[in-house]
C-alpha cells in the first residue's frame, strides 16, 4: 500500500508541477497595433506583470 | 492616475481631433448599444461579460454583468490600455487591440474612434472570433452619416459632382483618339450646364 502511494506521488508530483508551469507560461498579453504587428508579453518579461495583474483584476 | 489614463486613452481614441469633435454631437442611443451587445452575446458563446465605454470610462452599455461589475471592467480596461501604451510603443504605430490570456479566462479590449469595448471570456477562447465579434459590435455603434442631412447641406456639391464624373468616362475613350481632350471637356461642360 505504501509503495503504491509512493508511486502515485512520484507520478502525480511531476505531472502537476509541469502542468502548472505550462499553464503559467501560457499566461500572456498580446498587444495588437494598427500596422498589423503584434507584441506578445509572457510572464516574466519586462512590463508583463503589470498587464497580467490588470488582466487578472478584470476577470474578478 | 485616473486622469492620466483618461488623457492617454483620449489621445489614443482620437479625442480632440476635428473628426471626433464633429461626431461628438451625435448621441448614441441606449437602445442601439443594448441591441448591439445583445447581438454580441447571442453570437459569441465564449463571451461572459462585455462592456462598451468611452474615453472617460463612462459605461455606455454592458451585457452579462451588473452595473458595478461593468464599471469595474471598464475602469480596468482603461488602465490596461494605458499600461499597454507604455510597453513597446512606437511613434508610428497605435495600439488597437489587447488580449490578456490567463488560466481563469481571457480579457479582450478593442479600441475604436470614440468608444472602446472590453469583454471577458472563458479560458482559451478562439481569439480571432472574439476579436471579430467585438469589432463588429463596435462598428455597429458608430453612427453612419445621415444621408438626408448630407443632401440638405451639400446639395449644391452633390449636383455638381455627378455630371463631373461623366466626362471622366468619355475622357478615357476620347484619349484613344487624337481629337480627344478638347471634344470631351466640351461635352462635359455642356452636360454640366444642362
Domain containing B30 equals 2-141
* Mean pLDDT calculated for residue range B51-78: 91
Give the rounded percent of residues in chain B with a pLDDT score beyond 70: 55
Contacts 24+ apart (CB under 8 A), B14-17: B14/B113, B14/B114, B15/B55, B15/B114
Residues of chain A neighbouring B84 (CB-CB closer than 8 A): 29, 31, 51
pLDDT of residue B32: 81
Q: State how far the Cα of A46 lies from the Cα of A50, in Å rounded to an integer.
A: 9
Q: In Å, how far from its chain's centre is CA B78?
A: 17
Same domain as B189, residue B103: no
b/e sequence A16-47, b meaning 16+ C-beta within 10 Å: eeeeeeeeeeebbbbbbbeeeeebebeeeeeb
CA contacts within 13 A on the Cβ side of B7: 4
B56: how many CB neighbours lie within 10 A of its CB? 14
Same domain as B131, residue B58: yes
Q: What CATH code is carried by the domain that includes residue B37?
A: 3.30.450.30
* Mean pLDDT calculated for residue range B44-59: 91
Residues of chain B neighbouring A26 (CB-CB closer than 8 A): 101, 103
Write down the domain spans for chain A. 2-59
Q: Is the dihedral of CA A55, B79, B59, B41 positive or negative?
A: negative
In a domain, B149, yes or no: no
- Confidence band (pLDDT; 50, 70, 90) for B110? very high
pLDDT at B52 over 90: yes
Residues of chain B neighbouring A51 (CB-CB closer than 8 A): 80, 83-84, 87, 100
First-to-last C-alpha distance (Å) of chain A: 43
In a domain, B152, yes or no: no
More confidently predicted of B90 and A34: A34
Range of lowest pLDDT (B54-63, B114-123, B126-135, B181-190): B181-190
Same domain as B188, residue B96: no
SS3 B100: strand
* Mean pLDDT calculated for residue range A4-25: 78
- Confidence band (pLDDT; 50, 70, 90) for B180? very low
Closest CA to B82 of B50, B111, B45: B111
Considering only CB atoms, A27 lies closest to which of B79, B80, B101, namely B101
SS3 B60: strand
* Mean pLDDT calculated for residue range A6-28: 79
Q: Are residues A58 and B93, on separate chains, in Cβ contact within 8 Å?
A: no
Give the number of beta-carbon pairs within 8 Å between A and B: 87
Cell 495600439 appears where?
B95
* Mean pLDDT calculated for residue range B112-125: 91
* Residue B20 and residue B14 in contact, taking contact as beta carbons nearer than 8 Å: yes
* Residue B113 and residue B126 in contact, taking contact as beta carbons nearer than 8 Å: no
In a domain, B148, yes or no: no
In a domain, B172, yes or no: yes
ipTM over 0.90: no
Domain count for chain B: 2
In a domain, B173, yes or no: yes
pLDDT of residue B12: 53
pLDDT at A44 over 80: yes
- Confidence band (pLDDT; 50, 70, 90) for B59? very high
Q: In Å, how far from its chain's centre is CA B13?
A: 10
Same domain as B169, residue B101: no
More confidently predicted of B171 and B63: B63
In a domain, B32, yes or no: yes
Same domain as B173, residue B128: no
> By CA distance, what is A24's nearest residue in B?
B103
Q: A54 touching B, CB under 8 A? A: yes
In a domain, B185, yes or no: yes
More confidently predicted of B26 and B51: B51
Q: Which residues of B touch A (CB under 8 A)?
A: 72-73, 76-77, 79-80, 83-84, 86-88, 90, 92-107, 118, 120, 127
In a domain, B109, yes or no: yes
> DSSP class of residue B61?
E
Q: Are residues B97 and A32, on separate chains, in Cβ contact within 8 Å?
A: yes
**How far does the CA of residue B91 sit from the closest CA of chain A (Å)?**
11
Same domain as B68, residue B8: yes
pLDDT of residue B121: 94
**How far does the CA of residue B146 sit from the closest CA of chain A (Å)?**
28
Range of lowest pLDDT (B18-27, B80-89, B136-145): B18-27
**How far does the CA of residue A20 sit from the closest CA of chain B (Å)?**
10
More confidently predicted of B11 and B183: B11
Same domain as B106, residue B31: yes
Amino acid at each position: 500500500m505504501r509503495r503504491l502511494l509512493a508511486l502515485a506521488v512520484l507520478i502525480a508530483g511531476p505531472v502537476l508541477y509541469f502542468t502548472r508551469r505550462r499553464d503559467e507560461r501560457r499566461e500572456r498579453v498580446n498587444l495588437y497595433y494598427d500596422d498589423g504587428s503584434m507584441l506578445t508579453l509572457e510572464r516574466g518579461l519586462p512590463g508583463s506583470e503589470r498587464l497580467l495583474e490588470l488582466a487578472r483584476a478584470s476577470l474578478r | 492616475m485616473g486622469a492620466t489614463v483618461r488623457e492617454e486613452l483620449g489621445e489614443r481614441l482620437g479625442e480632440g481631433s476635428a473628426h471626433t469633435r464633429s461626431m461628438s454631437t451625435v448621441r448614441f442611443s441606449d437602445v442601439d448599444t443594448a441591441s448591439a451587445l445583445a447581438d454580441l452575446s447571442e453570437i459569441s458563446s465564449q463571451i461572459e461579460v462585455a462592456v462598451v465605454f468611452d474615453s472617460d470610462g463612462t459605461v455606455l452599455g454592458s451585457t452579462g454583468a451588473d452595473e458595478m461589475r461593468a464599471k469595474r471592467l471598464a475602469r480596468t480596461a482603461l488602465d490596461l490600455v494605458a499600461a499597454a501604451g507604455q510597453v513597446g510603443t512606437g511613434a508610428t504605430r497605435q495600439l488597437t487591440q489587447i488580449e490578456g490570456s490567463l488560466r481563469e479566462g481571457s480579457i479582450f479590449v478593442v479600441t475604436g474612434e470614440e468608444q472602446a469595448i472590453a469583454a471577458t471570456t472563458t479560458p482559451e477562447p478562439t481569439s480571432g472570433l472574439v476579436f471579430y465579434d467585438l469589432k463588429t459590435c463596435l462598428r455597429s455603434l458608430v453612427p453612419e452619416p445621415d444621408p438626408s442631412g448630407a443632401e440638405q447641406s451639400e446639395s449644391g456639391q452633390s449636383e455638381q459632382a455627378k455630371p463631373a464624373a461623366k466626362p471622366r468616362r468619355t475622357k478615357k475613350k476620347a484619349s484613344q483618339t487624337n481629337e480627344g481632350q478638347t471634344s470631351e471637356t466640351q461635352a462635359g461642360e455642356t452636360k454640366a450646364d444642362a
